[in-house]
Structure 1
């Protein structure tokens, strides 16, 4: 089998980062390199040609996930012609939805990676990126009346609890109650 072109190598690397971003949010960072590469449609041996370590991939996957989150917020602002309150309301409605609860792979990295970041030992680039991403998300949620951290904690806590109770009626009640509290508080 011949060598892949530089263009193909870049595409393969991006595919691995995107797949890792999804799998880490859905299953946690304990996903094996072999399973990750298989999900990306590539061989296990190709991993170390692209990444120095799994930790290096975690750094890139975390950056990618928070980049997606920032893009969603920007797109919401654009859809609402820069009206921050309307964009925030849409974000809250989407975030605290059954669809988001049931789709962790494409969901919020703050929620999907929280447990793994909490267990991480020592300084890591992924941890720094995570903390900066949480700060940026909280800042995007701030209103004149409510701090963004308060809103983010309510949203993230509700999402985590709703996911943990998914097969119980309380799951949707958690989402509905948190959504109502946040949208009523914002006017």
Structure 2
């Protein structure tokens, strides 16, 4: 049976999404092609029609993961806007528990261990995250007075604090759920407060 172009695109995305879910749970080496195909609801044959190897799929899935933003988490903190919304949604229980969230918090250590092309994909993705965050801060910069280097430093500081907080929240979620929630709530309050005060100054 002939498969439409739309179905081909859907199958390819299903493989990418399945890889992102399994890799987040088990690391880059934790899931084989058969398991990825099963998770995506596709056959081995379908896999090799889209990707020449598991490594090629992982590279594309890693790059695709950086298209995620906290704005994908709808329904949380609707009163926040701009950079404050980004911080609030990132440091949420919904993000902590979602399957397809920020790749940095989920896989930065794995990317460092893998090295090579995967580390390069992650480095480029992190650069883009910093640029996006700096752009959000620039739009809210008081009188446009801050330099690009200052905005990038602020974006880097916020991103690293948010990622570190999410890593700790996930590490403690099962054994100490109250601690996990406290980590998120404390950082969210402080960082959102700083971002909001900065925009009003």
8 A contact 2:68–2:101 mirrored in 1: no
5 Å-filtered alignment, 1:8-87, equals 8-29=7-28, 30-69=30-69, 72=71, 86-87=81-82
Unmatched segments (≥5 aa) in structure 2: 138-145
CA distance in 2, matches of 1:19, 1:183: 33
In structure 2, the partner of 1:135 is 127
1:60 offset after TM fit, Å? Answer: 0.9
Unmatched segments (≥5 aa) in structure 1: none
CA distance in 2, matches of 1:162, 1:24: 19
In structure 2, the partner of 1:95 is 90
Cα distance, 1:141–1:11 mapped onto 2, change above 3 Å: closer
8 A contact 1:138–1:151 mirrored in 2: no
TM-score (norm 2): 0.75
Q: What are the superposed Cα offsets for residues 41-82 of structure 1, whole Å, 9 maximum, x if unpaired?
A: 011243223211111001111121112339x48x9xxx99xx
CA distance in 1, matches of 2:165, 2:94: 14
1:181 offset after TM fit, Å? Answer: 2.2
Q: 1:120 aligns with which of 96, 110, 114?
A: 114
CA distance in 1, matches of 2:97, 2:68: 18
1:5 offset after TM fit, Å? Answer: 5.3
**Given the alignment of the two structures, is residue 156 of structure 1 paired with residue 151 of structure 2, yes or no?**
no
8 A contact 1:25–1:107 mirrored in 2: no
User: Aligned-residue CA RMSD in angstroms?
Assistant: 2.6
Q: Which moved more, 1:126-135 or 1:152-161?
A: 126-135
Say how many residue pairs are matched: 174
TM-score (norm 1): 0.80
Q: What are the superposed Cα offsets for residues 115-147 of structure 1, whole Å, 9 maximum, x if unpaired?
A: 2202113x21x3222112111212333345761
